[in-house]
Amino acid sequence: MALSVRQLGHGVIVVLIVGIVLYVMNTKVAVVNIIGTLIADQRAQLHSLLDDQVHRRMWLLDLTQLRHDIEAIPWVDRATIRRVFPDQIVVKVQPHQPVARWKDGFINREGHYFTRAPEWAQSLVHFNGDDTARQEILNFYQQYAAPFAKANAKIDRISQDATYGWRLFIRDGIEVVLGFEQPMNRARTVLSAIRSGLLTRHLDTTYIDMRYEFGLALR
């Protein structure tokens, strides 16, 4: 039975569609493109994780699992991953942005701890204390960092000891002892004193003790 032109046309279309589907299903990953502001060892770690995906079939990739694997890396905040046909996967990674040093690592503005950061992060404020105090110290810093810096008394270090006593170290290594009672109120008091010229009048000050009901002590 002779086939009509329309039937032949439909047959060609079916063959083309099947061919395209087979091509897509069998296309293998040739390129892994990593996007993000990353330092060299971070990029190398991602390539170590992702390069074994090269030569795997594009359609069989579990992108959700790959994203979970990437976000499980301690310094990664979030990641997205997508296929770009014909043979590429694109990974966009947002690393944690450090705001402070914490013990041997860093924390971001949400208080998440991670261990790898750019070299410039070594100059950030340093927090010391028990892990349970990390968020409290961060909240304190976020509230007072700008006012102290504006008063030319930049906070370089904040510590909370085993008795929950607070200490600040500001410009030129000056130690400010807040103690464990009402550290926020005492911080406001010493900030007010600094704004009024305390450090200008007492240039040799290395120690400020705020653990007094009325006033403060200098050394």
Whether 5 shows a pLDDT value over 90: the answer reads: no
pTM for the full predicted model:
0.74
Q: Looking at 24-28, 119-123, 171-175, which range is the least confident one?
A: 24-28
Higher-pLDDT residue of 4, 91: 91
State pLDDT tens for residues 101-145.
998 899 999 899 988 888 899 999 999 999 999 999 999 999 999
Q: Which two tokens stand for residue 218?
A: 């200098």
Domains of the chain: 5-95 (3.10.20), 100-218 (3.40.50.11690)
State the residue for tokens 């200098």.
Answer: 218
H/E element, 89: strand 88-95
Measure Cα distances from 102 to 3, 58, 113, 124, 148 in Å: 77, 41, 8, 10, 20
- Is beta strand 157-160 parallel, antiparallel or unpaired with respect to 166-169? antiparallel
